[in-house]
A and B are shown apart, each in its own frame.
Chain A
Amino acid sequence: MARMKFICDAERCIECNGCVTACKAEHQVPWGVNRRRVVTLNDGVPGERSISVACMHCSDAPCMAVCPVDCFYRTAEGVVLHDKDTCIGCGYCSYACPFGAPQFPSSGVFGMRGKMDKCTFCAGGPEAHGSAAENDKYGRNRLAEGKLPACAEMCATKALLGGDGDVVADIFRNRVMTRNKGSEVWGWGTAYGKPSSGGAAPKATKS
């Protein structure tokens, strides 16, 4: 079975926030909740780099480990989802998540009463696929429609890749080998054990 993953190519991301907008529009995410956002390092300095960040659907998810009401679960495709009917909005998952993925709306119809909201990899929630209840709580279920996440499919420069982990890793690897740079910025060597030659990584200062 496919194992869904995101990867963002920092050499291509131009900080247009198209992925953020696509996510907001597709799932009608309210103000104050950002399932996806773009983080820029060394903003304004030559060599700045941007990366699109959301839930990374960890294989051993810390949010899942710390949730006191056990509202998280994993789908057969490796997507980490949660049940808003079980969530108590305690915020423990946001402390555990290294990516700041869990979001907590203070008011509004979508995700009301401060229940946690996060990227679903466009895979909805525990309700029936494509049902009105699922759409109201979690947004569209594109995976069940045979589509990939809206953010990745809408990315103008194809910096954000989303899909089966093996396939997106192959695409990214092919890019890095072709252009012979770009792997050093985001720890390619740490993640994949194949560091390429290239310049030094920029100093990490958040904008």
Chain B
Amino acid sequence: MRHPLVVIGALVMLAGLAACTERPQVAGTRIQGTAAYMGTGGSPYTAAGWKAGDATSWEEQMRTRTQAGQNEYVRSAGK
């Protein structure tokens, strides 16, 4: 009679321990938020030259803007 009780008790304790597992700890991988290429939904300040929702055109816009605005070697060579 004691044995089944001991076994049941051990199983209950095991089940209780299962709740003590750690959360996975992975640094710096949580990605959240809407992607920037989705746009602002009609802000009047949106720059021209790309289409909201199109990731490729947004990336091209970023590249063009970086080169045109921050790389004067390219700008001076074009003149």
Residue A113 is within 8 A (CB to CB) of chain B in the complex: no
List the A side residues contacting B61 at CB < 8 Å: 146
CA distance A1 to B37 in the complex (A): 10
Minimum CB distance partner of A63 in chain B? B28
**Binary contact track A87-114/B, C-beta < 8 Å → 1, others 0:** 0000000000000000000000000000
Residue B69 is within 8 A (CB to CB) of chain A in the complex: yes
B35-79 residues with Cβ-Cβ distance < 8 A to A are: 35-36, 38-41, 43, 45-50, 55, 58-59, 61-63, 65-67, 69-73
A75 interface neighbour in B31, B40, B50, Cβ under 8 Å: B31
A126 touches B33 (CB 8 A): yes
Chain A interfacial residues counted at CB < 8 A: 43
CA distance A92 to B22 in the complex (A): 21
List the B side residues contacting A128 at CB < 8 Å: 34, 41
Known: A148-B65, A164-B59. Contact between A73 and B31, CB under 8 A?
Answer: yes
List the A side residues contacting B21 at CB < 8 Å: none
Residue A14 is within 8 A (CB to CB) of chain B in the complex: no
A53-87 residues with Cβ-Cβ distance < 8 A to B are: 58-61, 64-65, 70, 72-77, 81
**Total CB contacts across the A-B interface at under 8 A:** 124
What interface size band does chain B fall in?
Answer: 35 or more
Minimum CB distance partner of B42 in chain A? A130
B32 touches A73 (CB 8 A): yes
A124-174 residues with Cβ-Cβ distance < 8 A to B are: 125-126, 128-130, 141, 143-148, 152-153, 155, 158, 161-164, 167-168, 171, 174
Minimum CB distance partner of A74 in chain B? B31
B50 touches A60 (CB 8 A): no
List the A side residues contacting B35 at CB < 8 Å: 1, 75-77
Choose among B38, B40, B61, B73 the residue with the greatest number of A CB atoms under 10 Å from its CB.
Answer: B40
List the B side residues contacting A74 at CB < 8 Å: 28-32
Which B residues lie at the A interface, using CB under 8 A?
Answer: 27-36, 38-41, 43, 45-50, 55, 58-59, 61-63, 65-67, 69-73
List 24 contacting pairs A-B, 8 Å CB cutoff, sorted by A.
Answer: A61-B28, A65-B28, A73-B31, A73-B32, A74-B28, A74-B31, A77-B36, A128-B34, A130-B40, A130-B43, A144-B39, A144-B43, A145-B46, A146-B46, A146-B48, A146-B65, A148-B65, A152-B70, A153-B65, A153-B70, A155-B70, A158-B70, A167-B63, A174-B73
